[in-house]
Structure 1
């Protein structure tokens, strides 16, 4: 892309003032320089939006100000942790078990009769009410309730679950290690 020489000169002439404005906003020379650079990159990319005859410096200052505020909103959500102390306190459950649990569930679902699987997925996974699921399947509400109940019981049998809350998710050893680390 070719930029008109007068537009380029106007941009270069405004650069020291942009830098001063950036420093006043950020109180950091390096961040201000990055902000000015990003401003000029965006200005060049959007030069077709600049209306010749208007104030180039005002247009550039507007871009810089908008970039600063966008960056400020992003940074406000970030946590400063230069020495890594905060990150060291964070712990995440290993992600292998949920993947394995999900694979087991998929296998078990495939073993259910079609009507039970359909009813369970409509009510349990898709969030439809029993009435809505009955309407979708074209059967009575009691039939849907029965299918869902049978499907849940059959899944528990297939997956050898006796206490669902204890058997799904992280095991006791994983939870104790995470508690000790935290």
Structure 2
């Protein structure tokens, strides 16, 4: 951290009333304005080495204060106020290990499909193409594409031993833990 000369310090101190007035115009009179001025002065002090002697100290400090305000404003727009903890208590995440293992099982099952069925189910289920678009990509009729997707889904169900859409999502232990703590669960549905 650079040292500040007495002249620079006096120049900064002389700008404080103007900084307070500017901060009050941005956030209103009170503690928030004082906090904004304080934060700007701390930043200015930490970066005093970048200030060029002979330039306008007041303009430099106003720029720092303005940038500090807008940075805080952008950050606040991305944050959620949760004073009483109600929002955070409703958040739950399923254990990642199970999902990773399920994905590996799915990937291996996908590899067992014939190439035309694997291609069809990836185009429709994973890439989001319509049956018409997928049929055009593969150079086949729409009915052929629908048939390939249906056979692929049935074969994946057999390989993965899935009998209903209720089997997607958390396992019984995770589901019990989530419902016992009165946290809402998100149910994953089967591919359409």
TM-score normalised per structure 1: 0.72
Partner of 2:72: 71
Cα RMSD (Å) of the superposition? Answer: 3.7
In structure 2, how many angstroms separate the alpha carbons of the residues matched to 1:11 and 1:122? 66
In structure 2, how many angstroms separate the alpha carbons of the residues matched to 1:18 and 1:11? 11
Summarize the Cα distance change of 1:37–1:131 in structure 2 as closer, same or farther, 3 Å threshold. same
Summarize the Cα distance change of 1:98–1:32 in structure 2 as closer, same or farther, 3 Å threshold. farther
In structure 2, how many angstroms separate the alpha carbons of the residues matched to 1:113 and 1:18? 74
In structure 2, how many angstroms separate the alpha carbons of the residues matched to 1:137 and 1:31? 60
Partner of 1:134: 135
Summarize the Cα distance change of 1:169–1:40 in structure 2 as closer, same or farther, 3 Å threshold. same
1:59-90 per-position Cα deviation (integer Å, ceiling 9, x unaligned)? 42133122223213323524355x97865564
Partner of 1:101: 102
For the 8 Å contact 1:109–1:117, the answer to whether it is kept is yes
For the 8 Å contact 2:135–2:141, the answer to whether it is kept is yes
Partner of 1:115: 116
Summarize the Cα distance change of 1:42–1:122 in structure 2 as closer, same or farther, 3 Å threshold. farther
What displacement does 1:16 show? 6.1
Partner of 1:13: 11
In structure 1, how many angstroms separate the alpha carbons of the residues matched to 2:54 and 2:76? 36
| 2:92 alignment partner, SS class | coil
- Of 30, 35, 43 in structure 2, the residue corresponding to residue 38 of structure 1 is 43
In structure 2, how many angstroms separate the alpha carbons of the residues matched to 1:12 and 1:137? 75
Verify: 1:146 aligned to 2:151, yes or no: no
Partner of 2:181: 181
Aligned pairs, number: 172
TM-score normalised per structure 2: 0.69
Structure 1: gaps of 5 or more residues = none
In structure 2, how many angstroms separate the alpha carbons of the residues matched to 1:144 and 1:169? 28
The structure whose residues are more often helix, as a share, is: 1
